[in-house]
Structure 1
Amino acid sequence: MDLEYHYQDLYETSIKKIKADDYQIDTLIHDPTDKRFGITLLIRPSEEVKHNIQKFLKHLKTIDPNQYYYENSDIHITVMSIISCYNGFNLDQIDISKYIEVIKKSIIEQPLLEIEFKGVTASPSCIMLKGFMKNNSLNAIRDNLRIHFKNSSLEQSLDKRYTIQTAHTTVVRFCNPLNNKTAFLTAVESYKNYNFGTFKVDNLELVYNDWYQKEGHVKTLFNFSI
């Protein structure tokens, strides 16, 4: 996949929809009765990168404070959604040790994972940072996960929503109508090629999580050192 082309195409299509008020507002993001949970293998960016992200979010907040802005604790890159969030899922339903075993088997030796966040992209429901991988290690791990989980009898929903091939991170979700939309999109555009930084990955984290990866709902199940 040509990531730059993919991100640019997504950006142009989505911004056009947002300008036409054809965007999606998340009505569940502040709903205390939302019971969608699952398990995810993810990457956390470095503190330096998260600091740079917050500068961007602070800028957007001055224009429209009524959207959902990710806290540093919640910012992540999804390696793979092992069990996509659904209503009523509970850890008691699975043997987590078997999932850990499959993931361990899927991690390639000395993957040398390094990710650069450079620029922004969008969907009709959110603003994301464009993540670029320095090599194919992340997707090699993803391919192994697909093979090994497919050959297991474990509950899983890999690629059920879409086949993940990027290293993006979501940082803003629309939870209200956009206030001062033109200024908001102009600010987003000004970060279109901004370099948020590069970081090396030395840990993959398996978590039990809600839809938004909110810290108060996330439980770390295992850390995989790489």
Structure 2
Amino acid sequence: MNLTELYNNLYKRSIDDIRNGNNTIDWLIDDKNDKRRGLTVLIRPNDNVMEAIARFQHELMLIDKEQYYQPLADMHITVLSIISCDDGFDLGQIDTSKYIRLFEESAKNIMDIGLHFQGISTSPEAVMIQGFPLSAGLERFRNQLRKNFKASALQQTIDERYRLITAHITAVRFRKQIRVPQEFAERLESYRDVDFGSFKPKEIELVYNDWYQKNHIVKTLHKISLQ
């Protein structure tokens, strides 16, 4: 299945529930006691892509401002979850220098990475900006990370939940039932094929993070320049 089919299938499976006000609520998004933490390799979108997403978010806010609109500072594309968020994980359990070393090793021969964002998709609990790699660079980098970390003795949970192939950016999470679901769904439909822009990332990051990549919780462990 290619990415377009995957995004389309996600949308088809969830948009009717959203339209009918049966969206799934993320009960933990405002929970200050949520201690789920993990280790992630990620890319930050550039300003032009973030501004386009912010305009989209603003239109949805006019319909329902009570949902969780991902702050610009938190927006990201997950390259790979090295350790998936878990309630029992803490940085003190690992030797971060070893993770940084493997992260650097995996990025040594990194190919050109370009990303294009067009259209939106949905899940029962979120709205995503559809991301499409412009070359094989992202997948090659992911596979190198997989190979190196799985061959190591380091703690990791790569691909245990599912094998990541998308390059999306989460823009909205549902913290409540949608106030005007029909209008909200219509606005989503109008953005199904809107161009949010393209960019080539200037750097990649290894971070310690919560489930939502909230800026005040995330700790950047290392950055690698792609310039």
TM bin, normalised by shorter chain, reads: over 0.9
TM-score by length of 1: 0.96
Q: How many equivalent pairs are there?
A: 226
2:214 corresponding residue in structure 1: 214
Q: Is the aligned partner of 1:126 residue 2:107?
A: no
2:165 maps to amino acid: Q
CA shift for structure 1 position 19: 3.2
2:27 corresponding residue in structure 1: 27
CA shift for structure 1 position 20: 4.5
**Retained in 1: the 8 A contact 2:130–2:167?**
yes
CA shift for structure 1 position 146: 1.2
Unaligned stretches of 5+ in structure 2?
A: none
2:12 corresponding residue in structure 1: 12
CA shift for structure 1 position 34: 0.6
Sequence identity (%): 45
SS at match of 1:172: strand
Partners of 1:62 and 1:10 lie apart in 2 by 25
Q: 1:108/1:5 Cα in 2 relative to 1: closer, same or farther (>3 Å)?
A: farther
TM-score by length of 2: 0.96
RMSD of aligned alpha carbons? 1.2
1:143 corresponding residue in structure 2: 143
CA shift for structure 1 position 44: 0.2
Q: Deviations over 1:120-171 (max 9, x none)?
A: 0011110000001111111111111111111111111111221001111111
Unaligned stretches of 5+ in structure 1?
A: none
Question: Pairwise mapping of residues 6-155 of structure 1 onto structure 2 (< 5 A)?
Answer: 6-107=6-107, 109-155=109-155
1:194 maps to amino acid: V
Larger mean Cα displacement after TM superposition, 208-217 or 20-29: 20-29
2:176 corresponding residue in structure 1: 176
CA shift for structure 1 position 23: 2.9
Q: Deviations over 1:78-114 (max 9, x none)?
A: 0001111111311111011111111222225251111
**Retained in 2: the 8 A contact 1:108–1:141?**
no
Partners of 2:37 and 2:10 lie apart in 1 by 27
